[in-house]
Copies of this chain bind each other. A is one copy, B any other.
Amino acid sequence: MNTLVRKSVLDVKPYVPGKPIEETKRQLGLKEVIKLASNENPFGPSPKAVEAMKKSLAGVNRYPDAQGYYLKKRLARHFGLLAENFLLGNGSDEIIDILIKTFVETDENIVTSDTTFLEYEIIAQVNSRKVKKAPLRYFKYDLGAMLKLVDKKTKLVFIANPNNPTGTYVTKYEVADFLKALPGQAIVVFDEAYNTFIDVDDYPDSLDYLRRKNKVVILRTFSKAYGLAGLRLGYAIADPQLISYMERVRQPFNVNILAQAAGLAAIDDKDFLKKTRRMTLEGKDFIYRELSKMGLGYVPSAANFILIDVEKDSREVFKSMLKFGVIVREMSQYGLKNFIRLTIGSQKENRRAISALRKVLTPRA
């Protein structure tokens, strides 16, 4: 039957997700397992979102609102933009697919970085679009090198900012230069899934590029800071004309009813957002200090995770950590064979992760 499948589909290296908690318990016979592998919110979902979902459960026999009317209106108010500036997606993953289908012909190309969110390349491959990747420079997007890859056929540039899995970010100065030099047909997509955790001054204000009529698309998500990863809710912000094209490609019922209800409530849950941010930044400082004590190298992160140089095979460290009931992400699929990525959890989880890491990396006497 393998003459039936498309050739480019056979070339795809499928995405390997973080190991789920239940599966790990089942496989290893463990009672208590913590997951610090998928950059999820350790403090649960926004309580306001949970309340809103409860009220919506009885109505899930109806199709979702195909326009996302209320959620777009609420987002518009939040950002001081129009409802027409927004497109809702079944997670940002789906919006990446919509972007490629909307803007990139099969003989055109996409530019991004090496060692970044893997779905840009996977989704492009599935759609038979060419991706050109510049290497990272000191774990950071190298916009200069990316600019050299851009040609007349480049329609989309994906910039994960901060980048996953490195946690590094490109500055407003770097981005300003990049945008100035870019040819007119290229649209820049800023994937800002982790923007809530930024605590630096030179992070770019991508909404300002939008206001200044640059061809930019900003991706945001409810998965991380709002704690709604399981519901699948991401959104794009862009010029209404670009959004209207993307709306032609979006499937009408792509965002489920409960995600719409939860997103609407979560935006107003400022306390939860504040707590998540504060605890994550505190947790990051704690983990930095502990890693330094252990003499381990790490990449300073602008996000809710830390890339750690464990100086040995990442897959082995992953397996050993599992035995202590701690799920981390091994980085071999990203080509970082001696690194693990650790999500910043609750303070209790952070302590447990550091304790396990210490046991795993210290040779027995």
Contact = CB atoms under 8 A, between A and B. Distances in A.
Contacts of A257: 230-231
A143 to B, nearest CB: 21
Given A53-B57, A93-B253, A258-B231, A6 B105 contact: yes
Contacts of A123: 251
Counted per complex, copies of this chain come to: 2
Interface string A107-137: 0000000000001000100111000000000
A314 to B, nearest CB: 20
A5 interface: yes
Contacts of A292: none
Contacts of A10: 245, 248
B45 A185 contact: no
A43 interface: yes
A91 interface: yes
Nearest to A47: B58
A320 interface: no
Most chain B Cβ neighbours within 10 Å, of A41, A57, A104, A128: A57
B242 A256 contact: no
A1 B239 CA distance: 10
A352 to B, nearest CB: 17
Nearest to A242: B1
A239 B1 CA distance: 10
A22 interface: yes
A304 interface: no
A306 B117 CA distance: 47
Interface in A206-238: 215, 223, 227-232
A319 to B, nearest CB: 19
Contact of A65 (B15, B20, B58): B20
Interface stretch (A95-103, A194-202, A282-290, A333-341): A95-103
Interface of A: 1-7, 9-10, 12, 14-15, 17-18, 20-23, 35, 38, 40-45, 49-50, 53-54, 57-66, 69, 90-91, 93-94, 97, 101-106, 119, 123, 126-128, 155, 185, 187, 215, 223, 227-232, 239, 241-242, 245, 247-249, 251-254, 256-259, 262
